[in-house]
Amino acid sequence: MTEPLFSEDDEEFDRPRLAAHGPVRVRVPAKINLHLHVGPVRPDGFHELTTVYHAIGLYDELTARRGDTLTLTMEGEGTGALSLGEDNLIMRAVRALAAETGHDAFARLHLKKQIPIAAGLAGGSADAAAALVACDHLWGTGLARDDLAAIAATLGSDIPFLVLGGTALGTGRGELVSPVLTGGHAWHWVLAVADEGLSTPVVYKTFDELGGVGVAGSPDDLLAALRQRDPEVLADRLANDLQAAALHLRPELRQVLDAGLDAGALAGLVSGSGPTCVFLAEDARHAALLAAELEARACCRAVRTAAGPVPGARVL
Ligand code: C5P
């Protein structure tokens, strides 16, 4: 029996809060999509989605301190490649929270990044969710989780999920999320991280060019498999309509998927818009063995293990 990683009774957002005087540290997870059905393009240019999000234990950490301007520094994954200016989703999230609450958009922010960028793991969205939660605490604005999720939805399709965490059904363009209760069972994953990222808009555009018809369909079978808590059953139900587009743009990902299956993974699929490939393991021990085997094959930049579901952006 594996230890639950995620409590379904989460009251973090229901307590009144005062402004913090010391630094506020927020940890936020990466996400994978266990099911991603892509529907037609809508008039606003987004695709209608039916997805099952799953937060996994691979984290970024954002620290917020009081300041009299808004500044952002970072270390770790993506340093030098990521803009730290006003176009960064963190800055946009802080400005959106300030506009919504009437608070000055002042904070000194520092990001410690472990989630690879442009990887299909929603790292940028995770950081925006962390910024909303961190500044809400720093400023004592005390918004409810639903209010933070509403601001999050204006910033990006999967940011509301990163505020929520756990496992959740996403609809609309992905921004409408409702928790999926799975009884706290832990699933074990191995991630194969690629050298170079893929652009999410380019992957969606390629999906359209390849016919734009999603085949993943309803997530009901996947949701039933989650309740069954049997990784062998779950393995058959994982689905991602963006996988063909990611493979079209990066054919060598096929070798990564094959390497994972050959090494004994129960299943392998591209994570979100890719290029990270994610493999399902039987348990923590199997995940460690699988990771070692994939590392030995040197088929990708880095290999990580992570279990899920875990909570969304939370103050440490
Ligand atoms: O919402 P987000 O900013 O994460 O979306 C990034 C890009 O991914 C969009 O600009 C769009 O090209 C594509 N996308 C989409 N349909 C969705 C979500 C994202 O076409 N439901």
Q: What is the pLDDT of residue 1?
A: 43
Q: What is the pLDDT of residue 182?
A: 83
Kindly list the protein residues whose Cβ atom lies closer than 6 A to any atom of ligand 1.
46-47, 49, 156-158, 173-174, 200-201, 204
Tokens 């266990």 found at? 34
SS3 content of the chain, % helix, strand, coil (to 5): 35, 30, 40
Q: Which atom of ligand 1 is nearest to the CA of 45?
A: 20
Q: What is the pLDDT of residue 83?
A: 96
CA angle at residue 176 from 90 to 152, to 5 degrees? 15
CA angle at residue 238 from 235 to 239, to 5 degrees? 150
- Mean pLDDT per block of 10 residues along the chain (316 residues) reads 62 66 95 97 97 98 98 97 97 98 98 97 98 98 96 98 98 98 92 96 98 96 97 98 98 98 98 98 98 96 97 97
Expressed in angstroms and rounded, the spacing between residue 48 Cα and the centre of ligand 1 is 10
Q: What contacts 45, CB < 8 A, 6 or more positions away? A: none
121 is in an annotated binding site: yes
Domain edges within the chain? 16-181+310-315, 187-307
For atom 9 of ligand 1, the residue with the nearest CA is 201
Active-site hit among 60, 136, 147, 158: 158
Distance CA 102, CA 104 (A): 7
Q: Class assignment of domain 16-181+310-315?
A: alpha beta
Expressed in angstroms and rounded, the spacing between residue 150 Cα and the centre of ligand 1 is 17
Q: What is the pLDDT of residue 21?
A: 80
For atom 3 of ligand 1, the residue with the nearest CA is 156
Q: What is the pLDDT of residue 10?
A: 62
Expressed in angstroms and rounded, the spacing between residue 302 Cα and the centre of ligand 1 is 26
CB atoms within 10 A of CB 54: 26
For atom 10 of ligand 1, the residue with the nearest CA is 201
Contact 100, 139 (CB under 8 A): no
Q: Which atom of ligand 1 is nearest to the CA of 174?
A: 21
Probe residue for ligand 1, chosen from 154, 159, 161, 200 as the CB with the greatest number of ligand atoms within 8 Å: 200
Active-site hit among 31, 113, 147, 241: 31
Residue 300, SS3? coil
Q: Where are the alpha helices (DSSP H) in the chain?
A: 89-101, 123-139, 145-155, 159-164, 200-209, 220-228, 231-235, 243-249, 253-262, 284-297
Q: What is the pLDDT of residue 4?
A: 60
Q: What is the pLDDT of residue 14?
A: 56
Q: Has 158 been annotated as catalytic? A: yes
Q: Which CATH architecture best describes the domain 187-307?
A: 2-Layer Sandwich (3.30)
Q: Has 31 been annotated as catalytic? A: yes
Expressed in angstroms and rounded, the spacing between residue 37 Cα and the centre of ligand 1 is 14
**How many residues belong to the chain?**
316
HEC profile for 231-276? HHHHHCCCEECCHHHHHHHCCCHHHHHHHHHHCCCCEEEECCCCCC
Q: What is the pLDDT of residue 8?
A: 66
Expressed in angstroms and rounded, the spacing between residue 276 Cα and the centre of ligand 1 is 18
